[in-house]
Structure 1
Amino acid sequence: MKTAFKSIILLLALTAFYQSAHAQTRGGFGIKGGLNYNSNGQYFKDAEAIWGDPRENLGYHLGIFGKVNAGPVFLRPEMNYTNLTSQVNQVKLTTQRLDAPILLGVNLLGSLVSVFAGPSFHYYLEDELRNFDYEKYNSGYQFGVGLNLGNLGLDLRYERVLDGQRVDIDNVFTGAGDFRFQQLMLGLSLKF
């Protein structure tokens, strides 16, 4: 009797795990959001400052996504609002933009783990680093890894802007003039 009961419990647990893993392999759409840490191309130089106050360059992102599956491969277009914070010589500057990454990925271990990469297109709404007439369009790339538990997803990604924003700030600050946004992004997603 105990063996039959244990077998039924094991079968139900395996079925629940399969259903949970299979939920992320189906296509669909959802919402996402999370935190991002911006470094403006100086991660190794900024690493020691992170220990002092890790919230200095902390921002956030909110958005929507779609997911189209073709076997273990998937396409995931997104539309996000991103708020970036840059700390330059004790002055905090904010950048707001709309981001549209188009990610191509592969599901591993069923759909429990995924890896992805792709281009990201940016439209700048406001940029305190450049408070003059500037090009509002830019592009970059993202790559990362995701963990999928049913309709919930957690991913960690790296993003870098391809075309550097040349900012002549030598007259204002004593820093470098080439600011290429690069950020680490931790996101949580919910697929409907």
Structure 2
Amino acid sequence: MKKLMLLAFVFTAFGMNAQTAAFGIKGGLNYGATGEYESFAMASEDFQSSFEDGENKTGFHAGLFAQFQILGFSIRPELMYTQLNTEYSNFDYKVTKLDAPVLLGVNVLGPLNIKVGPAFQYVLKNELENSQLSIGQVDKEITVGYQAGAGVQFGRIGIDLRYEGAFDENTARGGDMAADSGFTVDSRPSQWIVSLAYTL
């Protein structure tokens, strides 16, 4: 959380020197999944494991953004509350997180723009649904991924389509009970994001 606060402070100070600045709200839907589910057990004297990819499901996001125009480019820090859902054969997995992407953008044709940049993620909660199993905390509460995509701007209204991915695996392990100890889930996101934004 301290890193996210520092990031917000840096870009607020940076914005004071920008040629123009705008602020707004945004929200929308995300469609994707987390990484592999691995289950493992001892069979006789052999260690056996199996892997399963998650099925894509729909989640949502909502939050705030700022946008600073400098030398024909835009710098756009955002702070978003995001819920990412994934379906596995034994349970549904839900990750709730704060996303703080910082995107460099440029207008390419009329209202069309493209954006790309790092996305800082702070995991608030990860939990299983439709299962009697439980899960522990992720290895890293704060991770860095990326977002890239395109958008259109019509006056105060903006529409974005982005892809979000992660650089490193971030494992969530089974909970403290013995029955929960034989599995892990890679919690890093792989999702498409559709957003509607309004500039105040």
Query: Normalising to structure 1: TM-score of the pair?
Result: 0.71
In structure 2, the residue matched to 1:104 is 104
Query: Normalising to structure 2: TM-score of the pair?
Result: 0.69
Alignment of 1:112-127 (within 5 A): 112-127=111-126
Alignment of 1:12-161 (within 5 A): 27-41=21-35, 57-89=57-89, 91-110=91-110, 112-128=111-127, 131-134=135-138, 135-161=140-166
Deviation, structure 1 residue 72: 2.6
In structure 1, the residue matched to 2:190 is 182
- Answer 1 or 2: which has greater helix percent: 1
| Partner deviation per Cα, 1:115-156 (whole Å, 9 max, x = no partner) | 010001011110116832432111100000001111100000
Give the match's secondary structure for 1:163.
Answer: coil
Give the match's secondary structure for 2:135.
Answer: coil
Deviation, structure 1 residue 91: 1.8
Change (3 A) 1:114 1:175: farther
Asked whether the 8 Å contact 2:126–2:137 carries over to 1, the reply is no
Runs of 4+ deviating beyond 3 Å: 174-179
Give the match's secondary structure for 1:27.
Answer: strand
Change (3 A) 1:83 1:178: closer
| Partner deviation per Cα, 1:144-183 (whole Å, 9 max, x = no partner) | 00011111000000001222122456x76x9885443111
Unaligned runs of 5+ in 1: 1-25, 50-55
| Partner deviation per Cα, 1:57-101 (whole Å, 9 max, x = no partner) | 110000100000024310000000001111111522211111100
Q: What RMSD in Å do the two structures reach over aligned CA positions?
A: 2.6
Change (3 A) 1:104 1:138: same
Unaligned runs of 5+ in 2: 1-19, 37-52, 129-133
Asked whether the 8 Å contact 1:104–1:116 carries over to 2, the reply is yes
- Answer 1 or 2: which has greater strand percent: 2
- Matched letter for residue 159 of structure 1: E
